[in-house]
Structures are given as structure tokens and as C-alpha cells.
């Protein structure tokens, strides 16, 4: 196991200037960063590389990354700008916000997360406002990495998953252990596998629901089982609910906080996905721990200290939060869900007509679908990377190769585009697949 960046920092702090990755003393104090050494395929890295490869005359259709904010159809009924205009024009929010967030905005998030959830016990003090969901993840992982007993902690992450967790675990010196999401069982977890993977140094399990990348939405009973398993194993549940309430087709979103009396939960969320304002960089984390499981380990105090060190979201954005969470924007949310659902239906139907593609279940929520590529049926396409690279070259359609998120020979497709554009994308994917289909 290579030493983490934090190990190196520690070595530096201890006054030694030895590069931990080699025995030779290095003259400079700045050591070679493992970020460069362990260069990994990141979503943005792969996407930028592929975008430069399109040789087609056709206009680009990007189904690679998730941002629907540029399509007017998705913005119908959205009145987020009013909240921000009021916040700016009041001129009351030009100063630094308190480190953990403006109290009335924290209150609004606590109320939003407690709505319909019994016994979650989320108060204003349990909520921390962050720069997007990304910083909420960062805060969680940094706090978990700083245990006083000196043991290297490990964390259970979903595979396929969201690569941010792996990268930030690495940066924080946390060992990652991956559990599988089972495609033909609605991408649920195998709880037996969770028990085998965990040991006395396992600190947390990350659950993404509604799920990115699979589009699965977990049932109340599955979430209950997950909480019981986490409780048995003494794990914290990190519930990534950035797609919370984004469900369609009669499915129901059940917040993990409802099971916090069984195992402690930290809920991660934000405005980026449900409100379609990812550029505003407003997220949150909330400690849901009615039984006080986390009290002894002083998790809340550690988060408070860390929030005093790092810098949170802009005051004017924070001040707009209560207006956005007040629930007045139902028409906008319903329209987005309707568009996502028809996009998912179109996708599912078209995939059924393309020999080289398959998918096990229609998405139930979130903004993505996972599609299996039967590479053995395609000439000159050995894996998902080839598929995605050739597809953008020939047809100017961008999809995300599954390898980047842990599932080889699958691709992830973004659903947040107007349905006409989705049809056009699949017409092109169809002609691409026909062209490459091996004749028996
Ligand atoms: C987008 C996303 C995040 C990060 O949210 P930002 O607000 O864009 O930083 C975290 N987790 C998952 C699963 C996501 O899809």
C-alpha cells in the first residue's frame, strides 16, 4: 500500500525531510505528489479527452456528464433567481457567514430533511452548509480519517459508484473496499458481502440513493436491512441523497435518516441536482443520530473544527436556501421528473431494439441509466472504452465508459436531456451498432 499524501505531510511535520516513497533523502521539502503518481481515470479527464476526438460533422450530443441546467425545457417553472435576487438586493449578506452556515439556512435544511421522517432528530446544529455535495463528502472523509488510535481506517464504497469517494479517501489516507451493486437485483447490496468486507477498522459505508449511476431507488425494506447490518457492524452510514426526491414511475424516496436510531447516519445533499443549479455550489451534510452513537467519538465537534478551518459557500447563496427549500416550487420539480421519466422510457425502449446493448431495469429515479455493451457482437470494439471512443468519433455522441466508475463493458448514460435529443442520440447509437455488428 503506497503511503498517502497525509502520511507524507506527517513525515514533514515530524521534521524529517525524507521522501516517504523512496529511501533517498530529497533536497526539497515538497515531495512528489501521489496525485500525479497514481494518475487515475477521472470522469472529467476521460470526458475532455474523448471530446477532442469527435471527427463527425454532426453536432455533439453529450450524455456523458450530468448537468441539465442548459436546457430551457428543464427550467420551466423554476424561480430560483428570485431567491438569489432578494438575497443580493437586501445587502444583508455581504459579510462572512458563520463557519457552519447561516443559522436560518441550517434550520431550513434541518426542516427539509426532517419532513416526513420520524425520529431523525435533526436540529439546526446538526446541519453544516458546504460548497456543493463535494465538500460535504470531503468534510466527512477528512473527519473519519483523523482517528486518534493511529490505525488506518477503511470505508465501504459502492461499485459501480461515484469516483469522488475513492479519490477523496485516497487523499485522506482511508483504505477503500468496494461492495457490488447487483444489476439483476435492482442494483441492491449483497449484505453478506458487506459483512465479509468489513473488519474492526471499517468506519463507514456509503449508500447512494437514488443511485448514481444505476438509477435504482431502494425500497424501505432494503434500507432497513442496510441499517441493521450497519448497526451490527458498528458502522456509520453516509447516505448520499443528492438525488433525494428525484423519483418517478410510482417509486418512493425513503430517506436513510428514518433508520438513524438503528445506525448513525450522515446525510449528504445539496441544490445541484434537484434544483439544477450545480454552479451555485451549495450542499450540506446533516448528522442524524437520535441515539447519540457518535457522541463519544465527537464527530460533530470534529466537523465544527474543520468548518472553522475551511471556507464554506457564499453568504448570498446560503441566504437563498430557505426560499428554495420552502416547497413552493412543485411545478418545476414535477416538470423535471416528467422529463427525466420520458427520457428514461425512451432510453429503455431503444436499448431493447439494439442487439449489442442491454439493461436490466428501467431507472426509478436519479439522472442516469447503466447500459451493458455486448462487445463480443461488435467488430473492432474490445471494451467499453473502445465503444465510447469510437462512438464519439463516428457519431458525436458522448457516453461515459463504465470502467471509469467501476463496471467494465457497461456505459453510463445521462437522462437529463430533452426527449427529442435522446431519440436522435439513440438513432445514431443504433446506426453505429449496426455498422459494427459482426455478421454470423
Ligand atoms: C453530483 C454528485 C455529488 C456532488 O454534488 P455537487 O453538489 O455537484 O458537488 C455527490 N454525490 C453524487 C452521487 C453525485 O452525483
pLDDT recorded at residue 41? 65
Whole-number Å distance, alpha carbon 434 to ligand 1 midpoint, is: 35
Q: Find the 392 Cα to ligand 1 centroid distance in Å.
A: 25
Say yes or no: CB of residue 242 within 6 Å of ligand 1. yes
CA 159 to ligand 1 centroid distance, Å = 16
Res. 140: pLDDT tops 50:
yes
Q: What is the pLDDT of residue 4?
A: 40
Query: What distance in Å separates the CA atoms of residue 63 and residue 191, rounded to the nearest whole number?
Result: 32
| Ligand 1 pocket residue status of 210, Cβ below 6 Å | no
Count of C-beta atoms within a 10 Å radius of residue 424: 16
With beta carbons less than 8 A apart as the criterion, state whether 197 and 208 touch. Answer: no
Q: Alpha-carbon distance 281 to 134, whole Å?
A: 9
Determine the Cα angle at 21 with ends 19 and 25, to 5°: 30
Strand partners, 157: 178
* 246-281 pLDDT tens trace: 999 999 999 999 999 999 999 999 999 999 999 999
**For residues 194 and 180, what is the distance between their CA atoms, to the nearest angstrom?**
9
- In tens, the pLDDT along 205-219 reads 999 999 999 999 999
For residue range 10-60, what is the model confidence (pLDDT) as tens digits? 333 333 334 444 556 556 666 666 565 555 667 888 888 888 887 778 899
**Among 50-64, 226-240, 340-354, 420-434, the least confident range:** 50-64
Does residue 162 have its Cβ closer than 6 Å to ligand 1? yes
Is 213 a pocket residue for ligand 1 (Cβ < 6 Å)? no
Determine the distance from the C-alpha atom of residue 417 to the mean position of all C-alpha atoms in its chain, rounded to a whole number.
19
Reported as a pLDDT band with limits 50, 70 and 90, residue 353 is very high
Which residues on adjacent β-strands are paired with residue 181? 189
CB of 288 within 8 A of CB of 114?
no
Ligand 1 binding pocket includes 134 (Cβ within 6 Å): yes
pLDDT at residue 408 tops 90: yes
Residues 312 and 100 sit within 8 Å (Cβ to Cβ): yes
According to DSSP H, which parts of 173-329 are helical?
191-197, 220-232, 299-309, 315-325
| Rounded distance from Cα 133 to ligand 1 centre (Å) | 5
For the chain, residues classed under CATH 3.90.1150.10 are 39-75+330-436
Task: Indicate if ligand 1 lies below 6 Å from the C-beta of 246.
Answer: no
Q: Quick one: cell of 217? A: 431507488
Gap from CA of 242 to ligand 1 centroid (Å): 6
The CATH architecture assigned to 39-75+330-436 reads Alpha-Beta Complex (3.90)
Q: 419 and 346 in contact (C-beta within 8 Å)?
A: yes
- Tabulate helix, strand, coil % of the chain (nearest 5): 40, 15, 40
Q: Please give the Cα distance from 101 to 222 (Å, whole number).
A: 33
| Portions of the chain given CATH number 3.40.640.10 | 81-324
The span from the CA of 80 to the CA of 65, in Å, is 22
66, 44 Cβ separation under 8 angstroms: no
Instruction: Please state the φ and ψ torsions of residue 368, each to the nearest 5 degrees.
Output: -140, 160
Atom of ligand 1 nearest to the CA of 270: 7
Pocket lining: 283 vs ligand 1, CB cutoff 6 Å? yes
| pLDDT at residue 66 in the model | 79
CA-nearest residue for atom 10, ligand 1, is 133
Q: Which of 32-41, 80-89, 317-326, 346-355 has the lowest mean pLDDT?
A: 32-41
What architecture is the 81-324 domain classified under in CATH? 3-Layer(aba) Sandwich (3.40)
Measure 241 CA to ligand 1 centroid, in angstroms.
9
The tally of CA atoms less than 13 A away on the side-chain side of residue 251 is 25
Q: How far is the CA of 405 from the centre of ligand 1 (A)?
A: 14
Q: How far is CA 409 from the centre of its chain?
A: 21
d(CA 43, CA 412): 11
240 in ligand 1 pocket by Cβ < 6 Å?
yes
Give 438's DSSP letter.
P
Are the C-beta atoms of 317 and 324 separated by less than 8 Å? no
d(CA 69, CA 33): 35
Cβ burial of 62 (10 Å; 0-12, 13-18, 19+) is buried
Indicate if ligand 1 lies below 6 Å from the C-beta of 289. no
- 44: CA distance to ligand 1 center in Å? 13
User: In angstroms, what is the span from residue 266 Cα to ligand 1's centroid?
Assistant: 15
**Which atom number of ligand 1 is nearest to the Cα of residue 132?**
7
| Ligand 1 centroid, distance to 422 Cα (angstroms) | 23
C-beta of 241 in contact with ligand 1 (< 6 A): no
Q: Return phi, psi of residue 237, to 5°.
A: -100, 120
Atom of ligand 1 nearest to the CA of 271: 7
Give the three cell numbers for residue 168.
Answer: 477523496
Amino acid at each position: 500500500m503506497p503511503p498517502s499524501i497525509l502520511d507524507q505531510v506527517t513525515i514533514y511535520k515530524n521534521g524529517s525531510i525524507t521522501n516517504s516513497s523512496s529511501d533517498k533523502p530529497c533536497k526539497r521539502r515538497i515531495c512528489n505528489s501521489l496525485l500525479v503518481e497514481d494518475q487515475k481515470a477521472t470522469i472529467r479527464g476521460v470526458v475532455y479527452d474523448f471530446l477532442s476526438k469527435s471527427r463527425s460533422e454532426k453536432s455533439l450530443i453529450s450524455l456523458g456528464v450530468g448537468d441539465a441546467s442548459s436546457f430551457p425545457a428543464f427550467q420551466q417553472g423554476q424561480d430560483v433567481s428570485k431567491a438569489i435576487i432578494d438575497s443580493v438586493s437586501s445587502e444583508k449578506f455581504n459579510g462572512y457567514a458563520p463557519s457552519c452556515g447561516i443559522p436560518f439556512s441550517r434550520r431550513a435544511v434541518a426542516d427539509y430533511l426532517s419532513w416526513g421522517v420520524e425520529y431523525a432528530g435533526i436540529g439546526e446544529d446538526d446541519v453544516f452548509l458546504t460548497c456543493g455535495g463535494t465538500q460535504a463528502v470531503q468534510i466527512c472523509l477528512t473527519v473519519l480519517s483523523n482517528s486518534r488510535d493511529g490505525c488506518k481506517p477503511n470505508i465501504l464504497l459502492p461499485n459501480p459508484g461515484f469516483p469522488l469517494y475513492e479519490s477523496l479517501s485516497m487523499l485522506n489516507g482511508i483504505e477503500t473496499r468496494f461492495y457490488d451493486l447487483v444489476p439483476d437485483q435492482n442494483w441492491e447490496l449483497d449484505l453478506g458481502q458487506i459483512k465479509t468486507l468489513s473488519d474492526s477498522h471499517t468506519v463507514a459505508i456509503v449508500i447512494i440513493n437514488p443511485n448514481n449511476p444505476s438509477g435504482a431507488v431502494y425500497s424501505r425494506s432494503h434500507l432497513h436491512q442496510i441499517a441493521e447490518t450497519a448497526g451490527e457492524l458498528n458502522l456509520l452510514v453516509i447516505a448520499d441523497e443528492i438525488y433525494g426526491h428525484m423519483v418517478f414511475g410510482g417509486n418512493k424516496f425513503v430517506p436513510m435518516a428514518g433508520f438513524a436510531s438503528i445506525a448513525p447516519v450522515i446525510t449528504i445533499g445539496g441544490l445541484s441536482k434537484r434544483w439544477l443549479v450545480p454552479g451555485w455550489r451549495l450542499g450540506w451534510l446533516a448528522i442524524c443520530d437520535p441515539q447519540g452513537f457518535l457522541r463519544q467519538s465527537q464527530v460533530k465537534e470534529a466537523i465544527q473544527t474543520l468548518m472553522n478551518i475551511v471556507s464554506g459557500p457564499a453568504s448570498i447563496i446560503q441566504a437563498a436556501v430557505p426560499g428554495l427549500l420552502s416547497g413552493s416550487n412543485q411545478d418545476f420539480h414535477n416538470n423535471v421528473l416528467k422529463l427525466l421519466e420520458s427520457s428514461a422510457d425512451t432510453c429503455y425502449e431503444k436499448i431493447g431494439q439494439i442487439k449489442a446493448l442491454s439493461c436490466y431495469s428501467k431507472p426509478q429515479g436519479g439522472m442516469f441509466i447503466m447500459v451493458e455493451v455486448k462487445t463480443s457482437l461488435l467488430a473492432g470494439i474490445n471494451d467499453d472504452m473502445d465503444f465510447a471512443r469510437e462512438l464519439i468519433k463516428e457519431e458525436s455522441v458522448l457516453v461515459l465508459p463504465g470502467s471509469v466508475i467501476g463496471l467494465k463493458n457497461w456505459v453510463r448514460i445521462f437522462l437529463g436531456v430533452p426527449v427529442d435529443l435522446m431519440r436522435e442520440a439513440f438513432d445514431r447509437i443504433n446506426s453505429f451498432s449496426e455498422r459494427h455488428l459482426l455478421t454470423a
